[in-house]
Structure 1
């Protein structure tokens, strides 16, 4: 599954201009496609980690950490690494230890891993949605539709429901088309779709 820029921005917490800049400077080039720009699920996970780190440390340290991984011949996709910060440096988490990538490269420390998927406020003060639950009745699971947001406990894409609602179907009547979709789930899908559309509007 590939994610367009607007949905990748909402799920990761990055702005559209940040995504453009990070592509241009090779912090993260999309795996999926360049024209139009599409991100893979792994790309969105990595972007979210970058935004979370960026909310606590300067971007230069994020770049330095990624460059250090390359110097150490750790060439996996950035989403493969568990990274965290103490507000000063960035650490690569390996089992029960963390290795400093920025301030004292190679030094091992003991730290707990914070959940980058939880909601947080990015550097601009914008609230970033819970990655796994962008709305109470929506969820993101990599194994379901390649990570595309769906109505919780279903395979029904959020945008399919949102398009029904925007097309005039009352949220209470969506269950006629998709019996597992409750009225509140339909409202959540429409609300999330509106947030994605707002990002799309700012990008245009």
Structure 2
């Protein structure tokens, strides 16, 4: 499965400028393709959402230090495998498998910590004045499932890509009439597809670092 930057941005909350900057800085290089066409994996999306969530509370340099420490202690798996949380006033912690403790990666590397806050990267979370949607359901009737159309957003319960439905609505087809083209797509699902398409196209650009 692969996601172009436009979709990766919408599903992760990172701006396209941030995606490009993080690629150049080798902070998160897409595992499918880092050159044109740039393509991100589903695992990349999870890692990107972690970056975005942490970036709201920690400077980029702190995130970089945490990633460097991960490598120093021999943790070299894909970043989506790790649960990183903002801890205390300045630190970032790696949540342990048991889920009831964590290891400091920045202020006192290696020190055992008690987890105070954990953002679930698959759920919706606030980012400034907007809300980054749930990864599995960016809209109630829109689904992102790695086993369906390689993870491309579709109308839930179907294999119909969201942008095909949104295109019909934008061309003037009433949501109630979309089922004439795609029988499995309800009017409510058509409205959700159009809403998500608007979000993809209009997601605000923020600072690219």
Number of aligned residue pairs: give it: 201
Tell me the equivalent position of 2:76. Answer: 75
TM-score by length of 2: 0.87
In structure 2, the residue matched to 1:143 is 147
Quote the Cα distance in structure 1 between the aligned partners of 2:151 and 2:17: 23
- For 1:169-180, list aligned pairs within 5 A: 169-180=173-184
Aligned residues: CA RMSD:
2.1
Corresponding residue for residue 168 of structure 1: 172
Question: Do the aligned partners of residues 47 and 15 (structure 1) sit closer, same or farther apart at CA in structure 2, a change above 3 Å counting?
Answer: same
| TM-score, normalised via structure 1 length | 0.89
After superposition, the Cα gap between the structure-2 partners of 1:200 and 1:88, relative to the gap in structure 1 and judged at 3 Å, is: closer
Does residue 114 (structure 1) correspond to residue 116 (structure 2)? The answer is no
In structure 1, the gaps of 5 or more residues are none
- Pair 201,102 (structure 1): closer, same or farther in 2 beyond 3 Å: closer
Whether contact under 8 Å (1:6, 1:200) holds in the other structure is: no
Matched with 1:19 is 19
Matches within 5 A, 1:172-191: 172-191=176-195
CA contact (8 A) 1:41 1:147 kept: yes
Tell me, in whole angstroms, the C-alpha distance in 2 between the residues paired with 1:131 and 1:39: 14
Give the 4+ runs in structure 1 shifted more than 6 A. Answer: none
Q: CA deviation at 1:105?
A: 0.9
More strand by share: 1
Compared with structure 1, are the counterparts of its residues 200 and 147 closer, same or farther at alpha carbon in structure 2 (3 Å cutoff)?
farther
Q: Distance in 1 between matches of 2:91 and 2:71?
A: 17
